[in-house]
């Protein structure tokens, strides 16, 4: 049996301003850091063996807080961010074999990045609804396969998140590793679509609150045994 913990990052500065964030790399707000602290407390006594997050700082911040705060954090291993050794821009300063029994590897991947909102990025959501119409913007935000101008649909997002989950994350779970995934509203919605066997008609209405952990218990055959939302 293994535990999978999914957590949407805490409120970002652009969440607070009601702006489309997408791939714009904005940090957590003060409220978002508090939400991440609360998430850390809720998952503090779970053993975590490996973590996955996106390349965006709001998810990375949430990851770091979740792994270093909370009343049970002193019992945790030390988190270590793992950089892509194939990236020609990386210095290679992280070349270190490490002591696996003392550390939690954190793998960052663009596959877990938020849905790309294209030309909507940076604009206020309410103002865009006034400009283009409430129904059109609702379609851009909540439909499964309608893309915002120049951006990704949820279907496009799922096309990168689900294979990454299947190929990178699931094998840890079936091997008995407990996994934390700190990511974004839409990247996690698409993973939940896979885990909960939701239809394209069901998933657009799925709401994920910032900083609320969702915990799955999964057996060695990748069957979901239990699911709990730690709200």
Active-site choice (35, 61, 114, 152): 114
Closest by CA position to 146, among listed 122, 124, 115: 115
Which residues, listed in sequence order, are joined to residue 6 by a DSSP beta bridge? 181, 214
Q: Could you tell me which residues come within 8 angstroms of residue 214 by beta carbon, excluding any fewer than 6 positions away?
A: 5, 6, 7, 192, 208, 227, 228, 229, 230
Side-chain-side CA neighbours of residue 13 (13 Å): 7
Closest by CA position to 191, among listed 167, 163, 211, 168: 163
**Among this protein's residues, is 114 annotated catalytic?**
yes
**Among this protein's residues, is 35 annotated catalytic?**
no
Report the distance separating Cα 37 and Cα 31, nearest Å: 10
Whether residue 112 contacts residue 168, with contact meaning beta carbons closer than 8 Å, is answered with no
32: how many CB neighbours lie within 10 A of its CB?
24
Reduced to 3 states (helix: H, G, I; strand: E, B; else coil), residue 228 is strand
Active-site choice (9, 61, 152, 184): 9
Task: Count Cβ neighbours within 10 Å for each residue of 94-112 and write b for 16 or more, e otherwise.
Answer: eeeeeeeeebbebbbbebb
Instruction: Kindly list the catalytic residues.
Output: 9, 114
């Amino acid at each position: 049996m293994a535990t999978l913990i999914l957590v949407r990052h805490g409120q970002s500065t652009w969440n607070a301003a009601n702006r489309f964030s997408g791939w714009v790399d904005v940090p957590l707000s003060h409220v978002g850091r508090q939400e991440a602290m609360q998430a850390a407390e809720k998952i503090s006594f779970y053993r975590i063996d490996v973590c996955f997050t996106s390349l965006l700082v709001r998810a990375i911040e949430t990851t770091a807080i979740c792994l270093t705060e909370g009343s049970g954090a002193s019992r945790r291993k030390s988190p270590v961010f793992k950089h892509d050794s194939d990236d020609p821009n990386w210095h290679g300063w992280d070349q270190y074999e490490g002591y696996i029994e003392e550390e939690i590897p954190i793998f960052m991947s663009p596959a877990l990045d938020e849905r790309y909102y294209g030309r909507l990025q940076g604009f206020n959501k309410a103002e865009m609804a006034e400009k283009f119409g409430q129904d059109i913007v609702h379609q851009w935000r909540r439909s499964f396969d309608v893309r915002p101008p120049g951006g990704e649909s949820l279907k496009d997002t799922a096309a990168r998140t689900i294979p990454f989950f299947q190929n990178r994350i699931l094998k840890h779970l079936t091997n008995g590793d407990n996994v934390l995934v700190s990511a974004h509203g839409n990247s996690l919605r698409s993973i939940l679509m896979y885990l909960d066997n939701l239809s394209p008609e069901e998933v657009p209405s799925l709401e994920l609150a910032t900083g609320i952990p969702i915990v799955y218990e999964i057996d060695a055959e990748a069957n979901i045994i239990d699911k709990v939302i730690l709200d």
